[in-house]
Amino acid sequence: MSAWCCVNGRYGPIDEATVPINDRGFLFGDSVYEVFHVHDGRLWAAERHYRRLGRSLEAIGLNADLEAIRGWVDETLRQSRLAEAMVYLHVTRGVAPRNHAFPPDLKPTVVITVRPLVAMPEAERRRGVKAITVPEVRWRRRDIKSTNLLPNVLAKQQAIRAGAYEALFVEADGTVNEGSSTNVFLVRDGALHTPAKGPQILPGITRDLLVETAREQGYAVEERTVKLSELFEADEVFLSGTTTEALGVVEVDSRRIADGQVGLVTRGLFEAYSERVRQGRD
């Protein structure tokens, strides 16, 4: 089987699934989501993702049955028979005639898709990727994993057009927040630095796992404000994300980072993270 999905507990091929046009997720982006990585048939970091989903739902005042959702996710994955996959889980406030205000007691719409995930080619990972910077234009609750991703979509497209992999959102004062779908780290003098958690960034699951892994390996990790100028003075820069894992950045805005190669710390952390995944230690 390949791409498979579930809409409110009904399973089937993705191409045959539909949601009503009055769904508030479609009309307003009134919805939150999660993306999981499936390794060897197992939902990686499931508890962390469900905890974050719970926080996103609570932050927008959406009551959904998390136990039912977990059951649907497991069953969709089982029916897909995929071992290396990406699970997309989307919970909307439900269906109602278009009106910004929502009626009470709507039934949430839950959409789950499972798709095969092809790992990034090793040569590409070894080469590293380029990033561009874009002005931070998003709302101030980026800690909520909302499906309102228009700025992220446009930023990523701008990166692709520029021949880059990612766009980093940077405030007018030079503060670097995160990528359009990744968190960002820098390495300087053997220590890691990454923007602190707060409303300004998504608290990435991979970010947290890499911070823990780095500390286990004896690295100091500072979670604090990071400025764009620091990226250019860094020994290494890397991105983190569910499907990105730890990916070296060798160029930002056409300026080379250090010697323009993926650094040893990034490489080592990627290996340690991959080992952690193999051990199922999430």
Please state, in angstroms and rounded to a whole number, the distance separating the CA atoms of residues 257 and 265: 14
Known catalytic membership, residue 227: no
Helices (H) and strands (E) in the chain, counts: 8, 15
CB of 192 to ligand PDD, least distance (A): 15
8 Å CB contact between 225 and 243: no
Nearer to ligand PDD, 204 or 263 (CB): 204
Q: What is the DSSP string of 145-182?
A: -BS--HHHHHHHHHHHHTT-SEEEEE-TTSBEEEESS-
Judged by CB under 6 A, the residue of 76, 183, 194, 266 near ligand PDD is 183
Please state, in angstroms and rounded to a whole number, the distance separating the CA atoms of residues 148 and 181: 13
Instruction: Write the interaction track for ligand PDD spanning residues 32-61; mark x where CB under 6 A is met and - where it is not.
Output: ---x--------------------------
Catalytic site residue from 145, 156, 197, 227: 145
Q: Which stretch binds ligand PDD (CB under 6 A): 119-127, 235-243, 248-256, 265-273?
A: 235-243
Nearer to ligand PDD, 117 or 191 (CB): 117
The first and second tokens of residue 135, run together, are 């002005």
- In order of 8, 193, 253, the CA distances from 219 in angstroms are 44, 10, 28
What amino acid is encoded at 236 in this protein?
A: E
Judged by CB under 6 A, the residue of 181, 194, 200, 213 near ligand PDD is 181
Judged by CB under 6 A, the residue of 94, 108, 204, 248 near ligand PDD is 204
Chain residues that interact with ligand PDD, rule: CB under 6 A: 35, 152, 178, 181-183, 202, 204-207, 240-243
Active site residues: 145
